[in-house]
Amino acid sequence: MKLKQLEGLLGTLQQFSCPKIELEQYPTGPHISSRMIYMAENSFGDISNKVVADFGCGCGTLGLAAGLLDAEHVIGFDVDTDSLEIATANAEDLELDMDFVQCDVKNLVLRGQIIDTVIMNPPFGTRKKGADMDFLKMALKVASGAVYSLHKTTTREHIKRAALSDYAAGSAEVICELKFDVPKLYKHHKKKEVDIAVDLWRFEPSRN
Ligand SMILES: C[S@@+](CC[C@H](N)C(=O)[O-])C[C@H]1O[C@@H](n2cnc3c(N)ncnc32)[C@H](O)[C@@H]1O
């Protein structure tokens, strides 16, 4: 599938109807999500024929992008049942098989190394300190191949140190810096939309 076609299909998906600020529910727009997953596939071969987990899947955008690029199996994890209902409807609309699991990512227990690739746009930890690191720690624990994640550029050094030293990643690379546009979703938002500088990371777990 071509990049533009992927972006177009992701643009048809329903997003959070009543976003929950405490869970930092911001959708990843079709421009960023299509490029993130397209690059994971076309530059690194981490999507097609792989088992892919979408952590904090929300309405399913990243996981469904992986499904559209021929992932063998995609599982979306989110703590919020309302989002999972929307994600399920989105999967039906695209006629894609994707499994959804309602759970807190930091309590995830999986038997065996069943996941090849984790893709995620985690909470940035602005509402619940450390939420971003909980996601990263678990992603590096369960992925056997690679982890793709978005984090605020201001946290770059912290992310690198934690990934390599505390979570024993084999590698941690910023693939590109992006402008993530957050639309006016919540009452405390004053502007129509705000751009946040965000890094797209690719991590590899340790091979030991
Ligand atoms: C920034 S949104 C990203 C949503 C979606 N992946 C996307 O890219 O559009 C973060 C998501 O993480 C979920 N979330 C927050 N804390 C969580 C937790 N502890 N465990 C699982 N999901 C969580 C939220 O419900 C929300 O859907």
Question: 133: which 2 tokens?
Answer: 């690191």
Domain positions in the chain are: 3-14+28-205
Q: How confident is the model at residue 77 (pLDDT cuts 50, 70, 90)?
A: very high
The whole-number pLDDT of residue 185 equals: 63
What mean pLDDT is predicted for residues 99-121?
Answer: 95
Question: 122: which 2 tokens?
Answer: 């985690």
What mean pLDDT is predicted for residues 8-34?
Answer: 95
Class of domain 3-14+28-205: alpha beta
The whole-number pLDDT of residue 181 equals: 84
For the CA of 120, the closest atom of ligand 1 is 6
Average pLDDT, the chain: 94
Q: Is the pLDDT of residue 106 over 80?
A: yes
**d(C-alpha 69, C-alpha 2), whole Å:** 10
Q: Is the pLDDT of residue 32 over 70?
A: yes
For the CA of 134, the closest atom of ligand 1 is 19
Cα radius of gyration rounded to whole Å, the chain: 16
The whole-number pLDDT of residue 191 equals: 66
Of all protein residues, the one whose alpha carbon is nearest to atom 2 of ligand 1 is: 25
Query: Which pTM was predicted?
Result: 0.95
**d(C-alpha 146, C-alpha 204), whole Å:** 5
Higher pLDDT, 191 or 124: 124
Q: Most distant CA pair in the chain: distance in Å?
A: 48
Of all protein residues, the one whose alpha carbon is nearest to atom 6 of ligand 1 is: 57
C-beta atoms surrounding 153 within 10 Å: 15
For the CA of 58, the closest atom of ligand 1 is 27
